């Protein structure tokens, strides 16, 4: 999990830019069912109930079209700094929990935990007041459980161990002293001078 960081918007929502999960060509490496899980902990500012959800980017864009909100365009971890882009609008959206397009969502008072099983595609995370009112503020922690990294680690250790054995064998062979002539052989050291 990351440290808890503050995100805020004067609009009706905070939404991430497109989060692209693309495994095209990497199917041999990891089964799409084993991509793991992303977890968000969202602690709202004040006593307002908060909503957090993740959905296809195109659905989020359609839902927030014409709604004043803030896009989180970039996040630097060390030191923490978020870049925002304000999106104008005057439309009031329906409460987010009334929409059915969320792949994962949670809402309520106090700290809410959002668990999402990672899938291929283009995704956006949205944090709002549960009633869709303006003035969104929350402390957010993010974390991930990626089981395929364990498999990659074991594979890397296995490959590394094999390479280590090959390196040791080559080193031993390279350090052996050269063999002398076979028993009964003739070794000449004379040089012939031309006359």
Q: Among positive and negative, which fits the CA dihedral 32, 33, 35, 40?
A: positive
> Considering the entire predicted model, what is its pTM?
0.70
Q: What are phi and psi of 149, to 5 degrees?
A: -65, -30
162 pLDDT more than 60: no
Assign 157 a pLDDT band (cuts: 50, 70, 90): very low
Q: pLDDT over 90 for what percent of the chain?
A: 44
Mean pLDDT value of segment 169-182? 48
Q: Which domains does the chain have, with CATH numbers?
A: 5-22+31-147 (2.60.120)
Q: Phi first, then psi: what are they for 155, rounded to 5°?
A: -65, -40
Strand partners of residue 72: 16, 84
CB atoms within 10 A of CB 146: 15
Between residues 56 and 33, the one the model is more confident about: 56
CB 63 within 8 Å of CB 101:
yes
pLDDT given for residue 152 in this prediction: 42
Structure tokens, 144: 């991930």
pLDDT tens per residue, range 57-75: 999 999 999 999 999 988 7
Bridge partners for 185 per DSSP: none
Query: Tens digit of pLDDT for each residue in 7-48?
Result: 999 999 999 988 876 655 544 444 445 557 888 899 998 888
Answer for the pair 152, 36: CB distance below 8 angstroms, yes or no: no
Alpha helices in the chain (DSSP H): 57-63, 147-175
């Amino acid at each position: 999990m990351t440290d808890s960081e503050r995100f805020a918007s004067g609009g009706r929502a905070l939404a991430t830019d497109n989060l692209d999960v693309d495994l095209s060509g990497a199917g041999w490496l990891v089964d799409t069912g084993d991509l793991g899980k992303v977890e968000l902990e969202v602690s709202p500012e004040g006593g307002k109930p908060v909503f957090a959800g993740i959905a296809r980017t195109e659905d989020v864009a359609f839902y927030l079209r014409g709604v004043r909100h803030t896009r989180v365009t970039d996040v630097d971890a060390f030191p923490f700094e978020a870049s925002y882009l304000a999106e104008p609008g005057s439309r009031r959206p329906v409460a987010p929990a009334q929409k059915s397009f969320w792949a994962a969502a949670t809402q309520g008072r106090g700290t809410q935990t959002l668990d999402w099983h990672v899938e291929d595609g283009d995704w956006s995370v949205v944090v709002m007041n549960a009633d869709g009112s303006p003035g969104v503020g929350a402390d957010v922690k993010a974390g991930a459980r990626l089981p395929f990294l364990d498999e990659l680690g074991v594979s890397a250790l296995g490959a590394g161990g094999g390479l280590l054995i090959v390196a040791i064998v080559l080193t031993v062979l390279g350090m052996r002293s050269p063999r002398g002539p076979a028993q009964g052989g003739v070794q000449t050291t004379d040089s012939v001078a031309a006359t």
